Amino acid sequence: MEGSDRPLARYVRILETVAAARAGLTLTEIATELELKAGTVHRLVRGLTDLGLLRNATGSKRYVSGPRLLNLLYLNLDPTGYAGLAQPTLDGLVAALGETAHLARLSGDFAESVLMKQPLGSNRAYVQPGRRLPLHAAASGKALLAFQDEAFIADYLGRPRTRYTERTKVGSEEVRRELDRIRSDGIAVCDNELDAGVLSYGHPVRAAGGSVLYSVGITGLADRFRATSRELIREKLSAAAAELGKSLGFRG
């Protein structure tokens, strides 16, 4: 059986086999399951691990799905497939803060709004699903950009950025200082930087392995929302992000 496999097919079969085993598999178990030689499995698994498609389960010799493989899965989730799971969290944010809540995901060089909940009686859709939000200006975008790897950040900052209002940060150094602040503070802020008169906050939602591909945000008219305690906003967004990580299965 081993001789009839093409190399790429072997990699795919290993990924499928490991992904199907929730507790992970050892090299010996993978070899037995796929009827491959131990040396072949060791070489293929090492390559998949180097690419981040597999990883060693903490404290064991078992292999489980790696962060890069999970990233591919999360980025291709259909919003209609997880809307029911995320909606209760957004409902809770709206009830607690009285402003519009939304879930965004990294989509190329933008944050894409995929789910939104407005307070009753509100008639302004700030972050309607499908809207593409700039990573350097929108709070949900900043919350994503701050937790990407250096190669992604450098590539993004190496290209021109749009200034949406007089308060938009576009210089590479000022954007980097903003990202450092977000990593230290825990939340991202967009104060009249994207839409004039609008104040937004964003918080990263961590996937398995620590990757940040989603963010949760809260948005309102600046004059009204500014009176809300930032500590309260941080507390509610942090709890919402943790809840989303669990309900959407992003925690490994």
Instruction: Tell me the pLDDT tens digit for each residue of 169-208.
Output: 999 999 999 999 999 999 999 999 999 999 999 999 987 6
Q: What is the pLDDT of residues 99-145, one digit of tens each?
A: 999 999 998 899 999 999 999 877 666 788 889 999 999 999 999 99
Q: What does the alpha-carbon distance between residue 77 and residue 92 come to, in Å, rounded to a whole number?
A: 23
E-strand ranges in 78-184 read 100-107, 110-117, 132-134
Given pLDDT bands bounded at 50, 70 and 90, which one contains residue 3? very low
Q: Quick check: 148 and 141 in contact, CB under 8 A?
A: no
Within 117-229, residue ranges assigned H as helices are: 139-145, 150-157, 172-185, 222-225
Angle at CA of residue 108, ends 105 and 110, nearest 5°: 60
pTM score > 0.95 for this model?
no
Look up residue 57 and give its DSSP letter.
Answer: P
Among the ranges given (49-58, 217-226, 235-244), the one the predictor scored with the smallest mean pLDDT: 49-58
When the pLDDT of each residue in the chain is averaged and rounded to a whole number, the result is 88
Pick the CATH number of 73-247 from 3.30.43.10, 3.20.20.60, 3.30.70.100, 3.30.450.40: 3.30.450.40
Q: 2-65 sits in which CATH class?
A: mainly alpha
Q: What does the alpha-carbon distance between residue 161 and residue 231 come to, in Å, rounded to a whole number?
A: 30
Q: Where are the chain's structural domains?
A: 2-65, 73-247
In terms of Cα–Cα distance, which of 244, 223, 240, 221 is closest to 232? 240
Q: What is the pLDDT of residues 70-85, one digit of tens each?
A: 767 666 666 666 677 7
- Which residues, 6 or more positions from 92, have their beta carbon under 8 angstroms from its beta carbon? 240, 243
